[in-house]
Amino acid sequence: DIAIKIDTEVKRLVSENYERTKRILMENMAALKALAEALLEKEVLDAPEIDKIIQGAMSPIPQGIPA
């Protein structure tokens, strides 16, 4: 009985956190792709470079400029 409750709770936690992780990755896909491209080019990035890439990927597109 206890083992079933533990198993059920573990499955719930894994499923819940899988969905949360998937949502976070999808919401940040632009930054993820920009980082992947930079790593393919350079292989190693330092913190300021990562910050710059993420800020550039997360900045909104100005009005009137097509995406």
pLDDT at 24 over 90: yes
pLDDT of the residue at 58:
78
pLDDT at 31 over 90: yes
**Tokens describing residue 43:** 């292989």
pLDDT of the residue at 2:
96
Q: What is the DSSP string of 1-61?
A: -HHHHHHHHHHHHHHHHHHHHHHHHHHTHHHHHHHHHHHHHHS---HHHHHHHHHHHHSPP
Question: DSSP code of 65?
Answer: S
Q: What is the pTM of this model?
A: 0.63
Residues whose CB falls within 8 Å of the CB of residue 66, separated by 6 or more in sequence, listed in order = none
